[in-house]
Amino acid sequence: MASAPAGRRSHRKSRAGCLACKRRKVKCDEHKPSCGNCTRHGVPCSFTSLAEEVHLSHASVSAPVRSDDVPDSASPSTIASMPSQAPMISSLPVFDMELFHHYMTSTCFTLTRTPIVQAVWRDEVPRVGFTMPAVLHAMLAVSALHLATSDPSRRERCTAQAHMHHEIAVRSVTPNLASLATDNGVGLFLFSSLTCIFACASSGSDNNFLVLFEHGRLANWVLLFRGTKTVLDYSSDDFSKGKLGPMFMNGSRSAAARNCHTMEQGQMYTWELKQLIYRDFSHDPRLRHVYEEALDTLSKTLGVVMKPGEGPRLQTADIFAWLLEASDEYLQLLVQEAPMALIIFGYFCVALHKIEWMWWMEGLSGRMMSQLYAVIEEKYRDWLRWPQEQIYWAPESTNT
């Protein structure tokens, strides 16, 4: 029989040694109640069953020993053999890691139906988030809301985590808006986009979160959405050729589609409303121009969204383009709850309804209509009848 290689001593393995020796991977003399190694090092010696050893091994890996449990003079062997004195708690943000994983494997694919743009949301947005925390927190906020819709049993916890990340994102980006617009336009654009998605999704669980106007000003989500145009205008980034290029190529196609549909195709839905504007504001050319301009641009949007068979191909850019095109004068009239401005926005709810296949848009048109119906004078409510029919909303569905 072959002998052991020179320079290496053979020895009998200790299969019933104490736990301290097993952890240190040294031979135990198995002397009880305290083995020679533990006696020499002055540490507690314990012999345990295999089942207990596996349990303790997993516990020792799951969390570090607290610093206040370790004497200043403790040696590495002493620390290794110390029994657990308190429940082990992981210091890793496990829930946030789950939210990140959920975003990468699920949420990013729900923000658009275009595969090349899905790839941007999946690959490029997290990379930007690693250099701009506001984007990362906004991304996790959206992921948490999506997980809440996917798993109703966790809705309360997910929603709370979503609002926490949203608040951190807003606090971290607000003081740096001016510099970000020029130095990190891509990050600011993504932050604004994710915040708008968050606002739309939040309105389903928090009726007070998403409103059009309150206390004499537009809702923050509307301002942020319109702010994306300012970012595009003043940023030094070339969005069409940079990381977000596929997004903007897709947006250009959407814009071309809107322009290809002449205004007349949408005016069949707004013709009577335009006659009302002409009649009621003939004495005020300025107001008539503001309303006619808002309605004409909305007619282009309706010309696209009402086209038979167009529904599955519609994207958010097809719809929200109108919010970018609407004049500041019109939006100010909306804040002031001017009846005609409210009616025009009611017609916009028809376009919103066409993209409610997205989880974060679901029910949005009805919630907007509820707010419009609650503040508009009763004598004008008949003008909201057509959009109400198109979005399948009835006054009885409001609490007002």
Same domain, 113 and 204: yes
Same domain, 386 and 264: yes
Question: Rounded mean pLDDT of 290-313?
Answer: 84
Confidence of residue 76 (pLDDT cuts 50, 70, 90): very low
Q: Give the C-alpha separation, 235 to 179, whole Å.
A: 10
Q: Give the C-alpha separation, 290 to 234, whole Å.
A: 26
Residue 367 pLDDT exceeds 70 = yes
pLDDT for residue 207: 45
Same domain, 175 and 98: yes
Name every residue whose Cβ is closer than 8 Å to that of residue 154 and which is 6 or more positions away in sequence. Answer: 147, 148
pLDDT for residue 235: 67
Mark out the alpha helices in the chain (DSSP H runs).
19-24, 36-41, 50-62, 76-81, 94-105, 115-119, 125-131, 133-150, 155-173, 177-183, 185-202, 220-234, 245-260, 263-280, 285-305, 316-325, 328-335, 339-353, 364-375, 385-390
147 token code pair: 């997980």
Q: In the chain, how many domains are there?
A: 3
Compare 263 and 234 and report the one with higher pLDDT: 234
Same domain, 185 and 290: no
Residue 298 pLDDT exceeds 90 = yes
Residue 180 pLDDT exceeds 70 = no
| Within-domain flag for 241 | no
| Within-domain flag for 66 | no
Same domain, 221 and 290: no
pLDDT for residue 79: 39
Cut 0.85: pTM above it:
no
| Within-domain flag for 352 | yes
Q: 360, exposed or middle or buried, with CB in 10 Å at 0-12, 13-18, 19+?
A: buried
Same domain, 388 and 269: yes
Specify which of 142-151, 177-186, 217-226 reaches the highest per-range mean pLDDT: 142-151
Q: Give the C-alpha separation, 136 to 141, whole Å.
A: 9
Residue 394 pLDDT exceeds 80 = yes
pLDDT for residue 71: 45
| Within-domain flag for 3 | no
pLDDT for residue 186: 86
3-state SS, residue 277:
helix
| Within-domain flag for 343 | yes
pLDDT for residue 339: 95
**What CATH code is carried by the domain that includes residue 42?**
4.10.240.10
| Within-domain flag for 188 | yes
Question: Rounded mean pLDDT of 360-381?
Answer: 91
Q: Mean pLDDT of all residues in the chain?
A: 78
Confidence of residue 176 (pLDDT cuts 50, 70, 90): low
| Within-domain flag for 157 | yes
Specify which of 82-86, 199-203, 204-208, 297-301 reaches the highest per-range mean pLDDT: 297-301
Same domain, 295 and 381: yes
| Within-domain flag for 114 | yes
Same domain, 260 and 330: yes
Lowest mean pLDDT among 74-83, 175-184, 330-339: 74-83
The boundaries of the domain holding residue 193 are 94-234
Same domain, 259 and 379: yes
Per-residue pLDDT tens digits for 52-66: 443 443 343 334 444
